[in-house]
Amino acid sequence: MVERVDSKMLLPREAIDASGQRLPEIVLHGVSKQFRNGALALQNVSMRLEKGEFVSLLGPSGCGKSTLLRLVSGLTPLSSGSIAVNGITPVNARELMSFIFQDATLLPWRTVEHNVGLGLELEHAARPMAKDKVAQMLELVGLTHVAQRYPRQLSGGMKMRVSIARALVNRPRILLLDEPFAALDEMTRDRLNEELLRLYLEQHWTVMFVTHSVAEAVFLSRRIVILAPHPGRIAHVVPVDLPWPRTVETRLTNAYEQQVALVSRMLRSVQAAESTVEGTEGGGR
């Protein structure tokens, strides 16, 4: 059984300070990424993720938010600038990080249990210990009863929960999520958002979350970074001042709705600026 932190211990950061644990932080300095075809995906992006912070990246398509996430994961190399994850390079810090993809990306030939255990298996964890951890994770995401099933027998929401369990089994300190719930229906997405926050308060990760959804970003984040495209750059950084813990009730409050409205306006202004640029370019005789 995983220990549940008392939900009264609202801020992960406080919880960490109390237990004296060090959590990693992510520092990006003047990061640029130019693809081989010459397209400039990101230009001079600098930001800093505090320990235990939940930051969402929001922006129109083509703003490089997914690229930014991949740079932090080390899956894509930088063109210039620097990224430090807990003081070391992203590639060296891989064991601290877990990446959750837009699709559940489960291995169809493995049962749920063996999908969740994949990371442990690849890193040669001892079998009995691995089995224990897998069982813990399945319980954490409420999937113990489908442990022996194959992915094709699961709903989209369940697959995503398996994907989350798989990401958590190696006890990451940093979670990188690339539009993980984009393919799900709204109700499933809301429920998974609540579960994700519950786990976040228990496990104190530092989180980078890429999304298209303003509502999702506001509900989850401590800060929202809005990116502008062509080239990808930071347009706004919006702190989200909603009380913790955030629950179903949070979505019903005025404060939440005002935040959503504010962020939506900012996002629209970024998009509007973009379309004006495109408009003048297109209209140039």
Partner 1 sequence: MKRQLWLMVNSVIVLTCLLGIWKLLVVLLKLPKYMLPSPELVGGAIVDRFQALLAAFFLTSETAAIGLAASIVVGVGIALIFAQWRGLRRLLFPYTILLQTVPIVAIAPLIVMWAGNGAHSVAIVTFIICLAPIIANTTQGLISVDENLIDLFLMHKATPVQILFKLRLPHAMPNLFVGIRVSAGIAVIGAITGELFTSSSRVGQGGLGYSILYASNQMETDYLFALVVAATVLGFSFFFIGMFLEWYFLHNWHESSRSEIPE
Q: Indicate if the alpha-carbon torsion angle 91, 95, 97, 102 is positive or negative.
A: positive
Which of 6, 14, 17, 123 is the binder for partner 1 (CB under 8 A)? 123
**Is 170 a binder of partner 1 (CB under 8 A)?**
yes
**Is 239 a binder of partner 1 (CB under 8 A)?**
no
Task: Measure the CA–CA gap between 278 and 225, rounded to whole angstroms.
Answer: 23
**Is 278 a binder of partner 1 (CB under 8 A)?**
no
Q: Which two tokens stand for residue 266?
A: 């900012």
Of 85, 216, 195, 220, nearest to 140 (Cα)? 195
| Residue span 43-82 as binding mask against partner 1, x where in contact by CB under 8 A, dash where not | ------------------------------x-x-------
**Is 126 a binder of partner 1 (CB under 8 A)?**
no
Beta carbon of residue 39, minimum distance to partner 1 (angstroms, whole number): 18
Site size for partner 1 (CB under 8 A)? 24
Of 269, 266, 282, 270, nearest to 64 (Cα)? 270
Task: Measure the CA–CA gap between 29 and 47, rounded to whole angstroms.
Answer: 7
Which of 9, 15, 47, 101 is the binder for partner 1 (CB under 8 A)? 101
CB-based contacts of 24, cutoff 8 Å, min separation 6: 51, 85, 86, 87, 93, 96, 173, 174, 206
| Residue span 128-167 as binding mask against partner 1, x where in contact by CB under 8 A, dash where not | ----------------------xxx---------------
By C-beta, is 110 or 236 nearer to partner 1?
110
